[in-house]
Each structure stands twice: as structure tokens, then as C-alpha cells.
Amino acid sequence: MSSPSLSIDCALGEFDPISALQTVKTEADWIGLRYSSETHHHRSARNGHMESNQVLQSRGVMIEALVGGQIAYAATSNLSPQGINQAARIATEIAQATAKQRRSDLSIQQRPAGVARHEGPSRIPLDQIRLEDFTSHLIQATQRLKVSDAIVTAVAEATLVESVTHYVTSSGADLRQQHLLSYQNFGAIAAEGSETQQRSLNGPTARCLQSGLESFNWDELLDECERTGQEALALLKAENCPDETMDLILSPDQMLLQIHESIGHPLELDRILGDERNYAGWSFVKPEDFGSLQYGSPLMNVVFDPGLSGEFASYAFDDGGAPAKREYLIREGLLIRGLGGLESQSRSGIPGVANFRSSGWNRAPIDRMANINLEPGNSSFEAMLSQVERGVFMQSNRSWSIDDYRNKFQFGCEYAQLIEEGRITRVLKNPNYRGITLPFWHSLAAVGQSDTFRMYGTPYCGKGEPNQMIRVGHASPTCLFKNIEVFGGDR
Amino acid sequence: MSTASSRIEDFGRLAQSAFARLSDHEDLGLSFSGEEQNYVRFNQGHVRQATHVDQQRITLDFRRDDRRLVLGFDLSGSFSADQTQLAALIAHARAESQVLPKDPFVTPLKNHGEGHEAHPGTAPSVGTLSNAIFRASSTIDLAGLYAGGVQYRATANSKGTFRSFSSESFFLDHSIYTLNADGENKAVKGLYAGHVFEEDGLHAALAESCEKLPALNRKNRSLPRGSYRVFLAPQAVEALVGMLSWGAVSHGAFQRGECALEGLARGESSLSPLFSLKENFKLGLSPRFTATGAVSPEELLLIEEGQLRTLLIHERTAKEYGLTANGASSGEGLRSPEILTGDLDPADTLKRLGTGIYLGNLHYLNWSERKTARLTGMTRYACFWVEDGEIIAPIKDLRFDESLYRIFGSELEAVTRQSLRLPETDTYQERSLGGSQVPGMLIRDFRFTL
């Protein structure tokens, strides 16, 4: 027997959504079937030992039934003709039962009937590495992170996800999409006396891409692990970030969070329409703001870009079958478009994007972010520094919180450096900053050029009732903000 | 309960067929999780989305020669197909175990015996439910989520353990919105939950939520950042208790340098003598067994009168650090926490607060500095400025940044005599089990920063 690879040799059996849909007998006006299959491979090592070897397979279908202007949903992992028909019957009954109390009129106009096949850009599949070699690299990574006895925890974690969705409808949609995705988390915790500090490669699990094994360049990763371990040690000796109002430069691995929380979520049309009011909250953005609200500095150009190759939440069609294309959300600081799929666009009359997405087979789609990116500007990093008399350069998210209207935020980072008279002078620990969304984005004073532009993401964007954890991508250059309230730790 | 019991029975049969496939030196633990739920989302009292979910999942915990693999899959509903998939995964685990390095912290599976716990109930049909809510919310702006139906969990292992837990129950987690005298949206949060849904109960719950609306309708009081005397309602305390599961009471986190209450764990710091925390499975909201079948004590005192008695210790942590496990799950988070009550009569809450802020709910908490148990978050929902024991006005929401050592420690003035049982309302991947029992708390000095 050959040595096992990272690939799993007991794939789930075949399922043909088109044939399954043909077997459905229903009284509904229209019916849709979304098949989703995901296999998550999770491997992690800590302090020189493997800690987790996990392969989780998940698959099932979500049936949608349209009756009297209401669409209802029924999810099942029973993929037999009986199971599918049972789900179709339940979805139809629920749509009938709730049609009179429906929030808005829905129709097949919100379920376009495209036919396409789409495959993500991954190049090296999971069967191209032996399992023992992959785990050995992870263990080695923890050893390289441990640059000193003061490193009490060194973690190397990799997740690879094989994802297939296939959406078919009684009106003719037939859309199959397949992606391979990877997430990485490499981090060290250093402790000495009463001090403890953490440092990771770009923040915990920010390295998220649509890619196969090509994102694991072990020579580079191991070198980065060593640098990360050294930075954790440096933080032990660093002074606290000062408490004062000063200039702030944010690296792309913190901009990901800033964009996510203070641009992405407030622009979601379902939030603006009030669907999310009982959970994550509403939005300070009003329907009348589109086309008139100056969201931030004229340097600010923000796009919904589902087609940036390799970015974490790229796709060709959303889960309602709408074709996905790049759109400006904010241009030269002016708010022009919301983040809402065809249902929200129909309900609100606001221009949106193809972002009606579900986290898996057992959840109905809602408006989600996907890839939201800040376009590069024309400042070099050196030019940005030269504009700062006294400020802080912060990297890698560590803490995040924002209010339910997406106004008052407070974010913390792992690592910072003091800037004095245009030069980086020393390392600072416990860097945090706080602000209010619109004034903050109006304080954007410089946007890095394309050589500072980086892609990150997170698999953990939470929203919706029932709750859904979904993948999002955020790419950004390094940015400079003027006169921001920054502060440090208690000690 | 027939769905749950028949599915648990099928799981038992699948488990036996899997155990029969094991070779010498192999052990297998299986955990089973499933639900048949209706999820109905409301906006302005109307149905925004309604979803029926029928799902069952098995997770395999395979052990061989000090190696451990975890594999999982969704059951298809066909016994033979699921049996085949289970067998294929066992074969895969066996092959992997031959090349993986040894894991020095694997613990052996044990026979934790048999036990079955069922909490029956009656959930309404979606039609009955949506009609009832539509009628009940005709004069209010209600947004929320109803979740109702059967949930079940079971665990079995090749050493003989077979334990199960099932519950049929519902909740309506809701917000009622109003526009106040300043034209600002204000809301109150409420929860109607139980095992038997009754329309009278629904009306009573909504009426109770609506009692705060007149006060919310007043003009706002905009408060400058700074320190204030506050009363934390039980729902606000629950949000803080939720943060304890982010590593604050985990022994593994303590060893890794990630424990927010490290000072308490080291005996260098303490909390208030008024603060006591325990895991209490008598609440009946969560199974006592873990994924490996280990059975937690019915009650486990973690913090007693401000002093740490124990952190949560999972079997793996125990093996790594030479300790004794205390029935914790692998994440070493709280599954059924209770904060013990004090002597503050809830009727005297505002009087004892005097002048300060009544905080109904908190929102989006996160550690701002884990080492010092400092956390940040927002006020949300029914939060009021109080003067001389009287509610004066709703506040404009504030951001706080405070340490648990102050909230549950030096600044804790009183704890209410009664506590609230708050079932879990999370529904990530599946509806969660569990919940908490928490009182309200009077805090002398609480710091707001934005």
C-alpha cells in the first residue's frame, strides 16, 4: 500500500442534482435544489507534537420552494429520492403556511436561470504531498517558532477545504462551482515574568486563500515562523503603546478587519432593511445614502470583487444563481452601491451585487460580504512614513469590537512600531485604537501603492438567524490615517 | 420524542457495526449530533425566511498505538450507506495512523457506562407559530428568530460507553423596536423559551418586553465617556460570563499563556467575595457527558467567594500536565454555568443604583487585553440613565473597556437575590444546547471609553 497523502480516499458517493430535481413531485410554483459538499482537512501541531488530525465531510441539499410570493427552505442530508421529496414537501408546506405573513414578494426574478461550470484557481491538489511530510513540516514550524525558552506556545495549523456546490432549479438554472481553499495559522506566545505576548503570521487565521498546496511554500513559511518567534520575544521587552491622539499606519493584515467591520457590514442591504436587527444589528447607513453619502476621504475606492484570482471568497455565481461581477461600492469616498443580492435589491430598490450566500447546505442564503477590497493608491510606504511626525504603525489583528449600527469601534493589534519624525524607532506592545466609522474613513490621508497590496481573509464571519459562519476575503494596501485615538495596555 | 429515540437507536446499531470492524490495539469513540428544527426569521412581525433543517452527524475519534484521528460525516438516512461510509473512514484512519507521529497526550478511551436523558416537549407547526406571532406583533415592530424542534446528542465507544441526551424545545429570541422622542431607534430584547409553546405564554413574554418601551421612547441622555455606577441586568451578566469560555477558565489556556484570569489561577489576584461560579448540570440544559463519554460532576465549583477552586480540565490537558480531569469538554469552556445569587432584592435595584446607568444588554464583547482580563464591548438595547433611583432617559450607546477583575472583583457591590435561567440561543451549524443561570449585579465604578 502506498503512503497516504493529504487527500482522503473514501470520498462521498456521487450525487446528481439534475436527476434528483427531476424526481421531485411538488405543488410549488417553482423549486430549487442546492447541493453542497465540503471536506475540511485540519492538521495542527503544538510545541513539537501533532495535536489535531481531522477530516470532516459534510454534504446535503437545500430545497427552495416558491408558493404565493414566498420562498421557504428545507435542508436534508438524506439524498435518496424519498429524502429529497420529503424536503420538497416540507419546503412547499412552509411556503404555503407563511405566504400570508411574508415580509416581501419574491419571485423567480430573484433566481436567474444561468448554466455554467466554474472551478477555482488552485494548482496543486492534496494528493501531491505525503501525509507524513505535511505533518513533519507543521511540527518543524513549531520548532522554528520556538526561538527561545520564553516561547511557551508555538502553534502551526493548516486547514484545506474541498468545496463543491451545484444549484439547479425548475426554471433551468444549472450552476456548478468547485473550489479548493486553504487557511493557515502560525503563531507564538512568549512569556517572561508577568508579561505574555502573542505574535502570529498576519494574525490568527488571516492567511486565507483559494489555493491548494501551492500556498504552503515551506522554506518561506519556516523563515517567517522564526521571524514571528523573534517578534514575540521583542514584544516582551517593548514599552506599551502610548495613549494619545496621533497618526496611524495600518498594514493590510489589520486593514482586513477595518474594511470588514466598518465598510462591509454596514453596507449589507439586509441589515439596512432590518433583517439582522435581532442579532448583529442594524446599520447607520440609510437607503437614501446611496449616491449621496461621502463615506470617507476621496482616496477611498472600495470594490466588491468576486473575481480576484486566489482571493478567499471568489466565485462566479452566488447561491441564488446571480452572476457575480466586480462593482464599486465606494468611489472617491462616495457611497454608490450596497452589498445585497437580488432579493434585497428588489426589496430596497438599491443597486447591489451578487452576494446572496449560504455557509453550507443547511442554511438559506442571505446577504454576505464575499471579497471587499480597498484599491491601491499612489503612496509608497516610505512616503507614508515621511508624512508622520509622531505616530504608530500597527500590524495583525488581535482584538475587534464594533457597535450594532457599525459606528463606534475598538480594534487591537499584535505588533506595533513607533514612528518619530518619519522614521520607525521602536517596537510597542498592546497597540489599540478606537474611532467612529465615518470620521475615521475621512481621516484617510494616504493609500499605499500596489506593492503594499495584500490579500487576506477569514473563515469566521458570523451573521444571520439561524447563524452562519462564512468565508470572506479582504485585500488592501497599507494606509495612513491622521489624528486617531490610540492607546496601550494597563501595564 | 420518537424521532430522537429512533435516531439514537439507529446510531447505537451503527456504532456496534463500527466497533466490530476494529482490529487489536484499536479503539473508537463515536459522537452523534442531530436535530430536526424549524427556524423562522421575523422582521416587522412578518416572516422573512423560514427553514426546516433535518441533520445528523457522526464524528469518529479513532485511537491506535498512541495516535488519534478525528473524522466526521453527515448521515445520509440510509443505514447501509452510512455503515459503508463509517467502515471506509475507519479504514482510512487505520492507514493514516500508520504514518502519523505518536501523540504523547492521547488518553485511552474508557467505559463511562450507559445513561439516557430525555426532555420531551411540543413545538408548534410553522403555520401555527407564524400566525401567532403575526397576530401578537400587529402593533409592535418585532424582529427575531424562532427555533423549535428536536435536538439530540449521543456518544458511544468501543469500551462500552453509550450515553444520550435529547430535548424538544423552542425559543423566540426577539427585539421590539421603537422610535424615541429624538427620532432614534431604540429596542428591547426578550426571550420566550420552553418545552411547550403556548400562545398565552407568547403574549405574556411580548407584553413583558413592551413594558420598557415607554421609558425608551423618552429623549436620549447623551453621556460623556468616563466612570459610572452601573447595574448589569442578568442578560448583561450573561454576556460577560460568555467571555469566560474564551480561555478564562481553561487550564489548557492557562498553560499556553492564553488565560484571561491568569492572576486568579496563580493565586496572585482574587475576585469579589460576592462572586461564585459553578458548572451546574442540574439546570437540565446540556448533556453531562462529553464527546468521549466522560461524565461531568453534576455540580463543579470553579470560583468560590472570589477564590479559584479549579479551572476546567479536559482529559488531554490532564495527561499533558499531570493533572486530574474534571469532566470538561475539549474546549474547556463553560457548558452550564451558574453564578450564585446574593442579597440584593431585585425590587430595590434602581434604589440601590441611585444615580448611574442601568445596562439591559451588552454587545460584541472581546478581550482588549487578555492578560489583565480587560474586555471591550458596547451597551445595547434597554440601557437607561437613572437618577435617585428613577429611570430618567435611555442613553446613547457607549463603549466600555473594563477588566473582569474590577467587574467581578473590586467594584462588585451587590448581587441580586434572584437569577434568570437563560437557554442558549446560538445556532451556528446547529442549534446549541446549554445555557446559564445568572443574577444581576451592581457595580460601583464602570469605565466607558467612547
pLDDT digits over B343-380, tens only?
999 999 999 999 999 999 999 999 999 999 999 999 99
Does any domain span residue B194?
Answer: yes
**What's the domain range around B403?**
226-448
Does any domain span residue B65?
Answer: yes
Contact predicate B47/B155, CB 8 Å: no
Contact predicate A25/A51, CB 8 Å: no
**Other beta carbons less than 10 A from residue A450's beta carbon:** 10
Helices (H), B262-322: 262-265, 315-321
Read off the pLDDT of each residue in B73-100 and give the average, rounded to a whole number.
95
Question: B166 and B264: one domain?
Answer: no
For residue A95, give the H/E element and its range. helix A81-98
Closest chain A residue by Cα to residue B142: A278
Q: Packing angle between helix A81-98 and helix B126-136, nearest 10 degrees?
A: 20
Report which residue type is found at A477. P
**Other beta carbons less than 10 A from residue A37's beta carbon:** 21
pLDDT at A11: 65
Dist CA B151 CA A10 (whole Å): 29
| Cβ-Cβ contacts under 8 Å, B49 against chain A | 71-73, 364, 366
Sequence-distant (6+) residues with CB within 8 A of B168 are B1, B4, B119, B120, B121, B122, B123, B149, B150, B151, B195
Q: Per-residue pLDDT for B333 more than 90? A: yes
As to burial, measured by CB atoms within 10 angstroms (0-12 exposed, 13-18 middle, 19+ buried), residue B108 is exposed
Contact predicate A392/A254, CB 8 Å: no
Share of chain B above pLDDT 70, in %: 100
Task: Select from B172, B198, B216 the last residue of a domain.
Answer: B216
Contact A274 B81 (CB under 8 A): no
Does any domain span residue B357?
Answer: yes
Please check whether residue A25 touches B, CB under 8 A: no
Q: Alpha carbon of B314 to those of A69, A398, B68, B106, B161: distances in Å?
A: 51, 26, 16, 12, 18
Count of residues for chain A?
491
Does any domain span residue B203?
Answer: yes
Sequence-distant (6+) residues with CB within 8 A of B204 are none
Residue whose entry in the numeric block shows the C-alpha cell 457611497: A335
**Other beta carbons less than 10 A from residue A349's beta carbon:** 9
Question: B185 and B319: one domain?
Answer: no
Contact predicate A247/A419, CB 8 Å: yes
Question: B183 and B244: one domain?
Answer: no
Read off the pLDDT of each residue in B3-23 and give the average, rounded to a whole number.
96
Cell matching residue A358: 449560504
Question: B130 and B255: one domain?
Answer: no
Question: B209 and B233: one domain?
Answer: no
Contact B77 A78 (CB under 8 A): yes
Contact predicate A226/A147, CB 8 Å: yes
Question: B198 and B231: one domain?
Answer: no
Q: What is the mean pLDDT of chain B?
A: 96
pLDDT at B3: 84
Question: B156 and B31: one domain?
Answer: yes
Best of A7, A10, A155 to substitute, by most chain B Cβ atoms within 10 angstroms, is A10
Task: Select from B183, B216, B249 the last residue of a domain.
Answer: B216
Does any domain span residue B199?
Answer: yes
For residue A340, give the H/E element and its range. none
Closest chain A residue by Cα to residue B84: A10
Q: Kindly give the pairing relationship between strand B26-43 and strand B141-157.
A: antiparallel
A308 closest CA partner among A372, A379, A376, A213: A372
Q: Is the pTM of this model over 0.95?
A: yes
Cα distance between the two ends of chain B: 50
Sequence-distant (6+) residues with CB within 8 A of B30 are B11, B14, B15, B18, B58, B59, B60, B61, B155, B156, B157
Does any domain span residue B258?
Answer: yes
Dist CA A408 CA B378 (whole Å): 8
Report which residue type is found at B326. N
Please check whether residue A490 touches B, CB under 8 A: yes
Question: B69 and B152: one domain?
Answer: yes
Sequence-distant (6+) residues with CB within 8 A of B253 are B247, B259, B332
Dist CA A116 CA A138 (whole Å): 38
Distance from CA of B209 to the nearest CA of A (A): 14
Dist CA B152 CA B66 (whole Å): 31
For residue B73, give the H/E element and its range. strand B67-74
Dist CA A243 CA A262 (whole Å): 23
Does any domain span residue B221?
Answer: no
Read off the pLDDT of each residue in B404-410 and give the average, rounded to a whole number.
98
Contact A77 B99 (CB under 8 A): no
A362 closest CA partner among A63, A39, A28, A24: A63
Dist CA B102 CA B82 (whole Å): 30
Name the A residues in 181-240 with CB < 8 Å from any B CB: 189-191, 195-196, 198
A454 forms bridges with which residues in the sheet?
Answer: A476
Best of A410, A414, A460, A463 to substitute, by most chain B Cβ atoms within 10 angstroms, is A410
Dist CA A400 CA A415 (whole Å): 15
Buried b / exposed e across B17-40, counting CB within 10 Å, b at 16+?
ebbeebeeebbbbbbbbbbbbbbb
- Half-sphere exposure of residue A174: CA atoms within 13 angstroms, side-chain side: 9
Share of chain A above pLDDT 90, in %: 97
Contact predicate B427/B151, CB 8 Å: no
Dist CA A37 CA A162 (whole Å): 8
Rg (CA), chain A: 24
Read off the pLDDT of each residue in B398-427 and give the average, rounded to a whole number.
98
Task: Select from B216, B244, B278 the last residue of a domain.
Answer: B216
| Cβ-Cβ contacts under 8 Å, B377 against chain A | 401
Residue B450 has its nearest CB partner, among A75, A98, A410, at: A410
Dist CA B440 CA B434 (whole Å): 20
Report which residue type is found at A328. Y
Name the A residues in 265-284 with CB < 8 Å from any B CB: 273-275, 277-279, 281-282
A229 closest CA partner among A155, A163, A331, A299: A155
Domains, chain A:
17-237 (3.30.2290.10), 240-487 (no CATH)
Question: B382 and B439: one domain?
Answer: yes
Distance from CA of A303 to the nearest CA of B (A): 26
Dist CA B23 CA A232 (whole Å): 45
Cell matching residue A34: 442546492
As to burial, measured by CB atoms within 10 angstroms (0-12 exposed, 13-18 middle, 19+ buried), residue A174 is middle
- pLDDT by residue (tens digit) across A182-206? 999 999 999 999 899 999 999 999 9
pLDDT at B77: 87
A278 closest CA partner among B382, B175, B208, B238: B175
Contact predicate A428/A418, CB 8 Å: yes
Residue B174 has its nearest CB partner, among A77, A278, A402, at: A278
Contact A57 B73 (CB under 8 A): yes
pLDDT at B2: 63
Report which residue type is found at B388. D
Backbone angles phi, psi at A272, to 5 degrees: -60, -35
CATH number of the domain that B20 lies in?
3.30.2290.10
Residue B46 has its nearest CB partner, among A101, A130, A136, at: A101
The DSSP-derived string for A8-27 is -S-PPPP--HHHHHHT----
As to burial, measured by CB atoms within 10 angstroms (0-12 exposed, 13-18 middle, 19+ buried), residue B134 is middle
Contact predicate B43/A272, CB 8 Å: no
Please check whether residue B191 touches A, CB under 8 A: no
Peptide bond into A466 cis (omega under 30): yes
**Cα three-residue angle A302-A372-B243, rounded to 5 degrees:** 125
Q: Per-residue pLDDT for B1 more than 90? A: no
Dist CA A77 CA B56 (whole Å): 8
Question: B259 and B196: one domain?
Answer: no
For residue A195, give the H/E element and its range. strand A195-200
Contact A434 B449 (CB under 8 A): yes
Question: B212 and B116: one domain?
Answer: yes
Q: Residue ranges of chain A with pLDDT lower than 70?
A: 1, 11-12, 491
Which DSSP letter does residue A55 get?
E
Which DSSP letter does residue A390 get?
E
Total structural domains in chain B? 2
Sequence-distant (6+) residues with CB within 8 A of A189 are A151, A152, A153, A154, A196, A197, A198, A232, B256, B257, B258
Dist CA A402 CA A434 (whole Å): 10
Q: Alpha carbon of B432 to those of A74, A403, B57, B182, B290: distances in Å?
A: 19, 25, 14, 38, 14
Interface A:B, Cβ pairs < 8 A: 275
Question: B319 and B210: one domain?
Answer: no
